[in-house]
Structure 1
Amino acid sequence: MRAVLHTREPALDDRWEDIVEATMIVPERSAYSIVEWSGAALGDATYLSAGSYRVRYSASGTDNAHPASTNFVADSDDYLLQLWPAPTAPDRVVKQTSSSAAYWHAYFSQQQHFTG
Structure 2
Amino acid sequence: MDDGGAFLITGLHTGAVGFSVTVADHDPGADTDGYEDIVEISFKSEAGQLSLYEWGGGDVHELPTLPTGPGWYRLRYHAQNMGEAAEVGTSDEVIDRYLLQIWPQDESTPRAVKSTSGQLAYWRRPR
TM-score normalised according to structure 2 size: 0.72
Does 2:83 correspond to 1:63?
yes
Single out whichever of 35-44 and 85-94 deviates more from structure 2.
35-44
Tell me what 2:8 maps to.
none
Quote the Cα distance in structure 2 between the aligned partners of 1:94 and 1:25: 20
Tell me what 1:51 maps to.
71
The alpha-carbon deviation at position 28 of structure 1 amounts to 3.2
Tell me what 1:12 maps to.
30
Task: Say which one has the larger Rg.
Answer: 1
- Pick closer, same or farther for the CA change 1:62–1:42 going to 2, 3 Å: farther
Query: Structure 2: any 5+ residue segments left out of the alignment?
Result: 1-18
Deviations along 1:49-84, one digit per CA (max 9) or x if unpaired, are 101100000000111112458xx9x42100011000
The alpha-carbon deviation at position 5 of structure 1 amounts to 0.3
Quote the Cα distance in structure 2 between the aligned partners of 1:90 and 1:32: 21
CA contact (8 A) 1:33 1:41 kept: no
Q: Report how many aligned residue pairs link the two structures.
A: 105
Deviations along 1:74-97, one digit per CA (max 9) or x if unpaired, are 421000110000111000011111
Quote the Cα distance in structure 2 between the aligned partners of 1:67 and 1:36: 21
Percent of counterpart pairs with the same letter?
Answer: 33
- Which of residues 92, 95, 113 in structure 2 aligns to 1:94? 113
Moved over 6 A (4+): none
TM-score normalised according to structure 1 size: 0.78
Alignment partner of 1:59: what SS? strand
